[in-house]
Structure 1
Amino acid sequence: MSFTVLSLGGPVAPEGEDVLRAAGIVLLSTGPYPGKAELLALLAEIQPDALVVRLVERVDAEVLMASPALKVVAKHGSGVNDIDVAAAAALGIPVLASVGANAHSVAEHALTLMLALAKDLKSQDDFMRRGGWGRKAYRGYELRARTLGIVGFGAIGSAFAGLVVPLGVKTIAYDPYVPDAVFGVQAERVPDLDTLLSRADVVSLHCPLTEETRGMIGARALTLMKRDAVLINTARGEIVDERALVKALNGGDIGAAGLDVFASEPPAKANPIWKCPNVIVSPHVGGATEEAWREISLMTCRNLMAFLEGRRIDARFFARPDRFPGEQ
């Protein structure tokens, strides 16, 4: 039996395409961020059996119902906030996520942001480009013996904890949905978010965007952090209240922030975050290395092929909207 897979927002990596085509599956793709009217018409026309979600505004109930043949949706990545998982469940359409495929890439990016801020790299680069030299403007510090607080201890959070071990960093972590065994010797489990925020010198977010986590790091949370603490966000921008963050950064309530994600992407030119000198930013590229893209595509396509062929898929690849596990 032949199946058709439509990738929304661009093709998967060639290695992933090879997996599907070797199984006789027809693979098609749209351009980045297709308009909804265009997308609905295309789905009705080709009636794909499966969707791969890459770069699209949102896969809602209307999109899910546009193809009567649709059997499964697969996120090309780990965060499924751009898919209405509850609507898919109501329609009997499972949603898969490529759990852990980009974990090391994102963990390395979080480490890079943390080190760049600790070593004052942004201001030192600016200082030298203006003709400066010497140590008088340097505000770097050692991370050794400082405390890293990880929010969400899934594949990414636990990978990050492993990366900082050689630095002599003490790691604490909060995730109410993973068993104690996951924390192992790499991180001390703390009972609640408030405890983590008050103890950590660096707070790094690795939880998914859910109704529970949306705006979780707001004005109150930021006041619990140390005045010289650093906030790292490589998860989802909407987890942080950006207005509250800007106010905290400008008011000296926290020390600095490293941001790879934003509530609105790309952030507007008028976004006040640009005026904060104690922020380093990147354009949501934490999980976009060539290695991660290849692994995500392979995992996505292998899981899709297995599902379409009626083979068993590990439960961890199925998205669940009613949980707050560590971002995978």
Structure 2
Amino acid sequence: MKIYVTGAYGPSQEFDSLRELGHEVVLGRPVDQPGRQPYTEEELVEWCRDADVIMASHLDTITRPVLEAAERLRLVVVPYIGVDKIDVGAATELGIVVANSPTPQNFHGVAEATIAFMLMLLKRIKRNEAKLRRGEWAQRVDRGWLLSGKTIGLVGFGRVSTQVARRLQGWDVRLLACDPYVAPEAARPLRVTLVPLTTLLMESNVVSLHATLTAKTRNMIGEKELRSMKRTAFLINTARGELVDENALYRAIDESWIAGAALDVFEQEPLPMESRLRRLDPERVILTPHNASHTEAGRLANLKLALESTLSAVRGEVPKHTVNPPAAARWRERFGPKKVGGLR
């Protein structure tokens, strides 16, 4: 079978387990290639036309036309968690399984990056470094703030934000969270109080976004929400760029509605050179290219799980981490008559 990897995440030999079984692996442009741009829809349609499996990078969008053109396609798998760049609805309709790679290393990496951003913002690390490099020695001017005693607001209380809450247990902070799908008693062991979003925004010194991107959460942080935050508060987004109205965020920082922000994700990735976010005060805004949580341990674990899903699919088994279980019946029709293991 033919496995197309739209963005190589490591050395070619890491795919030898597939080659040894007689499968052909076609590697696309490395994701860490300088200036690497997403493949266009037209490129993917032509490139993946004879694919049995597509392993998609976080830069590339797998649309309905791509899925429809690949008549043999049985699996789209990603070596990370989010599948918002894949038309999962179309895949389900076509009987194509979509699988992700929810490894613990991923959750831990994002949680650690979130804590790092909190400390960098509160301690004014970028501002003080910039002044030092300019020859200033302003020990008493730009004092930072203690994390201790602050109120931290977590928007979304899933696997990443619970890890953030665990790591903050020893910091003497007040923890708030907003998540309509979590019961209050589930948050209590981590000393987290569930509150409405309006309360969280008004009372938090740091607001950290961890919500899943849906039609309902898209642009959930806009002008109204940003204006309701404290003028001394910081916004952190390590989830999805589309959760935030970037035009409103630009104004919020440029006009000092809030104190600053740390962004690892953006509405459009890679972040365009003409984006106004690039023009914001670099001493108040941290911008990283959707890699703040990346570690070598995480990369290897994610790739291993993606390869396991691929091997399951080519053996005629539905992968364990399938995100569209309704596709299973159509999948059996397309690739049967095989005894396909149940979804777990």
Normalization by structure 2: what TM-score?
Answer: 0.83
Once residues 17 and 207 of structure 2 are traced to their aligned partners in structure 1, the CA distance between those partners, rounded to angstroms, is 39
**1:293: Cα distance to partner?**
1.2
**1:202: Cα distance to partner?**
0.7
Deviates more, 1:14-23 or 1:47-56: 14-23
When residues 64 and 105 of structure 1 are mapped into structure 2, their CA distance, relative to the original with a 3 A threshold, is same
Once residues 30 and 132 of structure 1 are traced to their aligned partners in structure 2, the CA distance between those partners, rounded to angstroms, is 47
**Residue of structure 2 in register with 1:228 after alignment:** 232
**1:90: Cα distance to partner?**
1.4
**Residue of structure 1 in register with 2:97 after alignment:** 94
SS at match of 1:171: strand
Is 1:297–2:303 an aligned residue pair?
yes
C-alpha contact 1:73 1:94 (8 A) present in aligned 2: yes
Once residues 320 and 119 of structure 1 are traced to their aligned partners in structure 2, the CA distance between those partners, rounded to angstroms, is 46
Q: Residues 195-216 of structure 1: CA distance to partner in whole angstroms, max 9, x if unpaired? A: 2212211111112222122111
By relative contact order (CA 8 Å, sep 6+), the higher-ranking structure is 1
**Residue of structure 2 in register with 1:20 after alignment:** 18
**Residue of structure 1 in register with 2:330 after alignment:** none
Deviates more, 1:160-169 or 1:13-22: 13-22
Once residues 139 and 17 of structure 1 are traced to their aligned partners in structure 2, the CA distance between those partners, rounded to angstroms, is 50
Q: Residues 42-76 of structure 1: CA distance to partner in whole angstroms, max 9, x if unpaired? A: 222xx222111115441111100112111111122
Unaligned runs of 5+ in 2: 31-37, 327-344
Q: Residues 239-286 of structure 1: CA distance to partner in whole angstroms, max 9, x if unpaired? A: 111111121122222111111112223333443323432212212112
**1:137: Cα distance to partner?**
2.1
Is 1:103–2:107 an aligned residue pair?
yes
SS at match of 2:313: helix
**1:149: Cα distance to partner?**
1.0
**1:219: Cα distance to partner?**
0.5
Q: Residues 160-189 of structure 1: CA distance to partner in whole angstroms, max 9, x if unpaired? A: 111222222222222223455653522424
Deviates more, 1:54-63 or 1:260-269: 260-269
C-alpha contact 1:85 1:320 (8 A) present in aligned 2: no
Is 1:49–2:47 an aligned residue pair?
no
When residues 313 and 181 of structure 1 are mapped into structure 2, their CA distance, relative to the original with a 3 A threshold, is farther
SS at match of 1:65: helix
Is 1:30–2:34 an aligned residue pair?
no
Once residues 13 and 154 of structure 1 are traced to their aligned partners in structure 2, the CA distance between those partners, rounded to angstroms, is 32
Once residues 221 and 180 of structure 2 are traced to their aligned partners in structure 1, the CA distance between those partners, rounded to angstroms, is 16
SS at match of 1:257: strand
**Residue of structure 1 in register with 2:44 after alignment:** 39
Once residues 192 and 25 of structure 1 are traced to their aligned partners in structure 2, the CA distance between those partners, rounded to angstroms, is 51
Among all aligned residue pairs of Structure 1 and Structure 2, give the percentage whose two residues are the same amino acid: 34
When residues 168 and 20 of structure 1 are mapped into structure 2, their CA distance, relative to the original with a 3 A threshold, is farther
Is 1:203–2:198 an aligned residue pair?
no
Once residues 18 and 224 of structure 1 are traced to their aligned partners in structure 2, the CA distance between those partners, rounded to angstroms, is 53
Is 1:306–2:312 an aligned residue pair?
yes
When residues 181 and 7 of structure 1 are mapped into structure 2, their CA distance, relative to the original with a 3 A threshold, is farther
Structure 1 counterpart of 2:61, from 41, 55, 58:
58
C-alpha contact 2:131 2:138 (8 A) present in aligned 1: no
Q: Residues 79-132 of structure 1: CA distance to partner in whole angstroms, max 9, x if unpaired? A: 111111111111121211112441111111111111001001011001111111
Root-mean-square deviation over aligned CA pairs = 2.4
**1:15: Cα distance to partner?**
7.8
Counterpart of 1:223 in structure 2: which amino acid? R
**Residue of structure 2 in register with 1:117 after alignment:** 121
Is 1:82–2:85 an aligned residue pair?
yes
